[in-house]
């Protein structure tokens, strides 16, 4: 589980191909503190550490993850967002992020907004609501606007400085994780379409709420 608050922008040191999968080695200031098997979100995609040195760590990225995320587009020397798993008892300053990428969005436009910037992404807005949350390359952001096939986020200078959004160009693809609560609500509403099911207090109790 993650918060969507990026710890650092890191550089990809090396990439190895392994039967449809890829092994990424990434420089990180916290590499020596990691444990083998520990989870790290790379551009918002949860990956497990398989090896580490004093200044880098490696993850094995499976074919399915490569197909669903922009990790397959990454080259040696590229910059990625890193976040370690959240600690229980810490403040949840972003929103609940699982590190399970739902898909990719294409950057359509970037608009200046004073010192900030507005990013427009082309994406299915089924789970996107104005003022709701979304994780873009693992960054917890608030949705500032929604149209039929795209949505907008306003990004403050501090977020630009601390994340790889500063390097994005028109046409780039980013990883998107939809708000988990939106997906649960959609699931329950679809169950309620079955006339034998009724979305009431009893139903919610039966399903752990």
Q: Where are the domains of the chain?
A: 8-84, 103-184
Q: Report d(CA 182, CA 135) in Å as an integer.
A: 13
- Topology of domain 8-84 in CATH is Elongation Factor Tu (Ef-tu); domain 3 (2.40.30)
Q: What would the mean pLDDT of 147-169 be, rounded to a whole number?
A: 95
Q: What is the pLDDT of residue 121?
A: 98
The number of beta carbons lying within 10 Å of the beta carbon of residue 169 is 7
Pairing mode of beta strands 139-146, 133-136: antiparallel
Give yes or no on whether 8-84 and 103-184 have one common fold.
yes
Q: What is the structure's pLDDT at 3?
A: 86
- C-alpha 147/C-alpha 73 separation (Å) is 27
Cα 14 to Cα 10, 22, 32, 34, distances in angstroms:
12, 10, 18, 18
Collapsing DSSP to helix, strand or coil, 160 comes out as: helix
Is the pLDDT at 77 greater than 70, yes or no? yes
**pLDDT per position as a tens digit, 180-194:** 877 777 777 776 665
Matching CATH number, 103-184, of 1.20.120.140, 3.40.50.1820, 2.40.30.20, 3.10.310.30: 2.40.30.20
What pTM, to 2 d.p., does this model score? Answer: 0.85
Judged against a pLDDT cut of 70, whether residue 48 lies above it is answered with yes
Position 185 scores a pLDDT of: 76
pLDDT at 197 over 80: no
Given a contact cutoff of 8 angstroms between Cβ atoms, the answer to whether 1 and 98 are in contact is: yes
Q: How far apart are CA 160 and CA 136, in angstroms?
A: 12
56 contacts: CB under 8 Å, gap ≥ 6 = 13, 25, 26, 27, 28, 31
Which residues face 175 on adjacent strands?
104
Mean local confidence (pLDDT), 44-69? 96
Q: How confident is the model at residue 87 (pLDDT cuts 50, 70, 90)?
A: confident
Tens of pLDDT, residues 6-29: 999 999 999 999 889 999 999 999
């Amino acid at each position: 589980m993650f918060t969507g608050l990026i710890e650092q922008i890191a550089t990809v040191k090396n990439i190895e191909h392994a039967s449809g999968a890829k092994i990424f080695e990434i420089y990180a200031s916290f590499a020596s503190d990691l444990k083998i098997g520990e989870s790290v979100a790379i551009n918002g995609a949860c990956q497990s550490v398989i090896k580490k040195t004093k200044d880098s760590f490696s993850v094995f990225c499976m074919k399915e993850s490569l197909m669903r995320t922009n990790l397959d587009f990454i080259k040696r020397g590229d910059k990625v967002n890193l976040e370690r798993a959240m600690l229980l008892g810490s403040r949840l300053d972003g929103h609940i992020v699982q590190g399970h990428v739902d898909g990719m969005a294409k950057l359509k436009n970037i608009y200046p907004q004073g010192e900030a910037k507005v990013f427009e992404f082309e994406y299915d807005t089924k789970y996107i609501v104005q003022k709701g949350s979304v994780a873009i390359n693992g960054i917890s952001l608030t949705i500032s606007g929604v149209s039929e096939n795209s949505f907008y986020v306003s990004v403050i200078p501090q977020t630009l400085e601390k994340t790889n959004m500063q390097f994005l160009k028109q046409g780039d693809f980013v990883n998107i994780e939809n708000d988990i609560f939106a997906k649960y609500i959609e699931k329950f509403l679809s169950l309620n379409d079955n006339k034998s099911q009724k979305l009431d207090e009893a139903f919610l109790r039966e399903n752990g709420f």
